[in-house]
Amino acid sequence: MKKIILSLSFLLSVGIGSSGLIGQCNSDNFSNACIPKLAGGFNFLKSYKIDGEGGSKEKVEYSYVFTKGTQYMINICANGQATDGIVVTLFDSGRNKVASSKINGQFIAAIAYPCNATGIYYIQYTFDGSASHCGGSALGFKR
């Protein structure tokens, strides 16, 4: 019986190890945690995973059509209270920088963007001295 239990324990540990559950970026948890952190009055639209794959990815990018007259909020959640060096930068369709969560060297956990020009925008997450390269984000809107 002891042999069977030992064999089972071995099988389970090998299974868990090879499926990569240990040490992986659980960005789903971070993005879900970000949703209730959207400021009051903002309606949830999308959640985004930020997985820098342990530093092998320089950026994670999504896109969304923002509409003139609508205010959007994008926040960042990571390990601890701060953003763990994760920066969100917004670019317009011509790749002009429109907004950033890093201002004067300060990492800010959310940006509020009252859109004045309808179009496709790129929501880009980068890692500036990040320890885990892992986080989540939520996008909300209000009019």
Q: In the chain, where do the E strands start and end?
A: 43-51, 59-66, 71-78, 86-91, 97-100, 102-103, 106-107, 110-114, 119-127, 134-142
Is residue 113 at the binding interface for another protein, with CB under 8 A as the rule? Answer: yes
Is residue 65 at the binding interface for another protein, with CB under 8 A as the rule? Answer: yes
Nearer to another protein, 105 or 129 (CB): 105
Q: What 8-state DSSP symbol labels residue 131?
A: S
Which one among 15, 17, 54, 55 touches another protein, defined by CB under 8 A?
15
Q: Is 104 helix (H, G, I), strand (E, B) or coil?
A: coil
Binding site for another protein (CB under 8 A): 1, 4, 7-8, 11-12, 15, 35, 39, 43-47, 62-70, 73, 90, 92-94, 96-101, 103, 106, 108-120, 141-143
